[in-house]
Amino acid sequence: MIWYTVLVAAVGAERVAELVVAKRNMRWSLARGAVERGRGHYPAMVVLHTGLLLGCLAEVWSAHRPFLPALGIPMLAVAVLAQGLRWWCIRTLGPRWNTKVLVVPGLPLVDAGPYRLRGLRHPNYVAVVAEGVALPLVHTAWITALVFTVLNAWLLSVRIRCENEALALAGAAT
């Protein structure tokens, strides 16, 4: 269980790195006239993602969840691939990527990297969904995986609608 705690702590450190990048990118966007949208759901998103990490640890440690290699190893691979996809999205969007909904008016949609794939308009959220299932299941924390997945589905429906509306209002090419 110690190695799993280290894994979850590493994901937590990755989240801190994301926040550092997001803060820098927010300054870039605001300097170019971006307006923030969706402030109302952002605190829920922070609580949910923090809850995922805490839930993983709490369930594994308190319920003595076993590591089952047949489940844990493939889920670890999915979690690692999800991180790769997330950072591919961050790198592709460059200073336009953020944890908040900030759209610089008049800029066209990005159509490079994972955003070039038709039918996959929000690849970062594919990474979020995959990680939300996989990270808990690395160590059979199935309750955390289930609760996060259900709550995240609701939150993503709000978030994606907010992003799409913000892009439309900013006049980005769709």
pLDDT in tens, 34-74: 989 999 999 999 999 999 999 999 999 999 999 999 999 99
Q: Has residue 172 got a pLDDT over 70?
A: no
Domain count along the chain: 1
H-helix segments, 32-172 = 42-62, 69-93, 123-137, 142-170
Q: Using a pLDDT cut of 90, give the percent of the chain over it.
A: 86
Looking at per-residue pLDDT, the higher value among 87 and 1 belongs to 87
- Calpha distance 16→37 (Å, rounded): 22
Residue 141 sits in a domain of what CATH number? 1.20.120.1630
- Find the domain containing 96 and state its range: 2-170
